[in-house]
């Protein structure tokens, strides 16, 4: 998706995915007594799995806002597949929260059928401030906030309970397995005005069963093979490397800052984290090789 963005400009869902009449008709069925207006969603980056809008309504003449997601649009899911994924949203949210992530409230979700495919409509707490991708690309934002969001993400990963991690060879490397996967990139984190970090992406839920395999996996949502997907979303090293590489590329291209300077700052943060030395050594070796392991695993356009 990155090749669709001009440097320093992040397209929003409001510009790319205006609600269609059929979606609005279903919204009206869910909330037939409330009048909603779709307002600008500037600051919300384009996603792969969902269409997102901000809805505004009034209670006692006071405006309120909610995030409206239409998950799995254009993915061709059957009703059975969508229902199965729908049922895992709440458990996945609870598991992420148990590991330190703050996730917005999930007010209401409903599986629906639209244009010969099944989707999930979700009404969620809106976290104001714009996502991390919008913030890092914004030249008006000071660098200290950009460093803060990167450090906050890395600290959350570093603070996973040790008893929930284990070593496993994935894609040819001995790495630390997380208890679940997560699509960790700047577009999926939000730093609100109180400097509180939120992880805002629950779809599709990346849970791992007791046998160490994906609980829910379908090539309709993820084009990578299962092991490759696990390497970059369900290992601590892979999640850190992927998150940082995307952040470095966006920041350097958008804000006239050299990648080398960003990488030096990242190494300083990495050195300060309470992580096993084997993990730090591997991550640093990947910086030295310009992410050779990631290049073997995937192309970002597929994830």
The token pair at 239 is 């999640």
Is the confidence at residue 278, as pLDDT, over 70?
yes
Which pLDDT belongs to residue 10? 40
Q: What is the pLDDT of residue 173?
A: 95
Query: Residue 48: what pLDDT?
Result: 82
Place 17 in a pLDDT band, splitting at 50, 70 and 90.
low
Structure tokens at 28: 């009206």
pLDDT band at 2 (very low <50, low <70, confident <90, very high): very low
Eight-class DSSP state of 193: T
The pLDDT tens digits of the residues spanning 100-117 come to 999 999 999 999 999 999
Q: Between these two residues, 237 and 19, which has the higher pLDDT value?
A: 237
> Using an 8 Å Cβ cutoff, are 165 and 259 in contact?
no
Q: What is the pLDDT of residue 46?
A: 73
Beta partners for residue 175, in sequence order: 168
Which sign does the torsion angle of CA 229, 234, 235, 238 carry?
Answer: positive
Domain boundaries in the chain? Answer: 2-124, 132-302
Averaged pLDDT, 173-182: 98
Please tell me which residue, 221 or 17, carries the higher pLDDT value.
Answer: 221
**What is the per-residue pLDDT across 189-241, written as a single tens digit (0 to 9) for each?**
999 988 999 999 999 999 999 999 999 999 999 989 999 999 999 999 999 99
Check pLDDT > 90 for residue 157. Answer: yes
% residues pLDDT > 90 (the chain):
85
Of 39, 71, 69, nearest to 54 (Cα)? 39
- 237-253 pLDDT tens trace: 999 999 999 999 999 99
Answer whether residue 99 shows pLDDT above 90: yes
Q: What is the pLDDT of residue 206?
A: 98
Low-confidence winner among 15-29, 55-69, 77-91, 176-190 (lowest mean pLDDT): 15-29
Please give the pLDDT value at position 303: 53
Count the Cβ atoms, other than its own, within 10 Å of residue 301: 10
Half-sphere exposure of 97 (CA within 13 A, CB side): 13
User: 41 falls in which pLDDT band (50, 70, 90)?
Assistant: confident
Q: Pick from 269, 273, 271, 244: which is nearest to 259 by CA?
A: 244
Query: pLDDT at residue 15 above 90?
Result: no
Mean pLDDT of the chain: 92
pLDDT score of 5: 37
CATH architecture of 2-124: 2-Layer Sandwich (3.30)
């Amino acid at each position: 998706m990155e090749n669709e963005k001009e440097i320093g400009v992040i397209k929003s869902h409001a510009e790319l995915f205006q609600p269609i009449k059929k979606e609005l008709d279903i919204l009206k069925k869910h909330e037939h007594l409330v009048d909603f207006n779709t307002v600008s969603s500037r600051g919300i980056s384009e996603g792969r799995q969902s269409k997102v809008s901000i809805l505004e309504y009034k209670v006692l003449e006071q405006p309120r806002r909610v995030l409206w997601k239409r998950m799995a649009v254009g993915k061709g899911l059957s009703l059975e597949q969508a229902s199965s994924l729908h049922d895992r949203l709440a458990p996945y949210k609870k598991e992420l929260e148990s590991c330190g992530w703050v996730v917005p409230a999930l007010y209401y979700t409903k599986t629906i059928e639209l244009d010969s495919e099944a989707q999930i409509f979700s009404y969620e707490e809106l976290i104001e401030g714009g996502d991390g991708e919008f913030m890092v690309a914004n030249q008006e934002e000071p660098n200290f906030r950009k460093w803060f969001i990167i450090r906050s993400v890395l600290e959350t990963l570093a603070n996973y309970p040790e008893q929930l991690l284990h070593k496993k060879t994935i894609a040819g490397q001995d790495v630390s397995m997380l208890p679940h996967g997560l699509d960790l990139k700047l577009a999926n984190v939000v730093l609100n005005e109180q400097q509180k970090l939120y992880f805002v992406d629950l779809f599709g839920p990346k849970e791992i069963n007791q046998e160490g395999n994906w609980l829910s996996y379908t090539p309709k949502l993820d084009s990578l093979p299962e092991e490759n997907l696990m390497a970059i979303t369900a290992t601590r090293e892979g999640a850190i490397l992927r998150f940082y590489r995307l952040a470095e590329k966006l920041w350097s291209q958008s804000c006239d800052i050299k990648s080398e300077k960003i990488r030096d700052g990242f190494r300083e943060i990495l050195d300060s984290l309470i992580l096993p030395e084997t993990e730090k050594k591997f991550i640093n070796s990947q910086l030295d090789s310009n992410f050779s392991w990631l290049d073997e695993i995937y192309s970002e356009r597929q994830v």
